[in-house]
């Protein structure tokens, strides 16, 4: 049974190892690679506005998801050896439920590889491929309509 919990500094090594195979999908220079270094991950873990979660089983991290307030995904990775087993969906549902209360738009800078995955979660591509800050990505957003509460039948 896998469990989702907040990430801690003790998770740093496993998080870095899990992200490593994906760096080539994003980084186009050393500057981009640095954004996935242990120092960069540690900075995210220490940032109050960043909510960082891991999905683990038997103390092994299988996936990670992190967002910066109000609602921008900064990390979302599943270990390549356990993909297509619902771990990404479980992580996404966890964060989506957390954000559901008062957020209408969630954004992410997606790698080209991850674009179809985000589309499955209802995200739409809102930019061409961008190369900036040593990274190659496209901006994506998921918007949801906030339903207005209706007055009860017969209310004046």
pLDDT digits (tens, 9 = 90+) for 44-101: 999 999 999 999 999 999 999 999 999 999 999 999 999 999 999 999 999 999 988 7
- Please indicate, yes or no, if residue 42 is contained in any of the structural domains: yes
Domain assignment of residue 55, yes or no: yes
Per-residue model confidence (pLDDT) at position 23:
94
* Residue 128 domain flag: no
Report the pLDDT averaged over residues 123-150. Answer: 85
* Residue 32 covered by a domain: yes
Hey, which bits of 9-148 come out as E strands? 50-57, 60-68, 72-78, 105-110, 124-125, 130-132, 135-143
Q: What is the residue range of 27's domain?
A: 3-103
Residue 112 has pLDDT above 50, yes or no: yes
Instruction: Judge whether residue 149 has pLDDT over 50.
Output: no
Cα(36)–Cα(54) distance, integer angstroms: 16
With respect to residue 18, please indicate whether it lies within any of the assigned structural domains.
Answer: yes
Q: What is the CATH number of the domain that holds 79?
A: 3.40.630.30
Residue 76 within a domain: yes
Task: Please tell me the total count of domains within the chain.
Answer: 1
pTM of the model: 0.88
């Amino acid at each position: 049974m896998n469990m989702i919990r907040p990430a801690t500094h003790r998770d740093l090594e496993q998080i870095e190892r899990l992200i490593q195979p994906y760096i080539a999908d994003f980084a186009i220079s050393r500057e981009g690679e640095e954004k996935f270094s242990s120092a960069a991950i540690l900075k995210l873990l220490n940032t109050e506005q960043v909510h960082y979660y891991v999905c683990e089983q038997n103390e092994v991290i299988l996936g990670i998801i992190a967002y910066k307030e109000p609602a921008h995904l900064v990390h979302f990775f599943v270990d390549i050896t356990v993909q297509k087993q619902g771990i990404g969906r479980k992580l996404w549902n966890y964060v989506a439920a957390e954000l559901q209360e008062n957020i209408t738009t969630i954004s992410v800078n997606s790698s080209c590889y991850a674009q179809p995955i985000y589309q499955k979660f209802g995200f739409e591509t809102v930019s061409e491929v961008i190369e900036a800050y040593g990274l190659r990505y496209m901006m994506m957003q998921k918007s949801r309509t906030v339903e207005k509460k209706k007055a009860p039948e017969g209310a004046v």
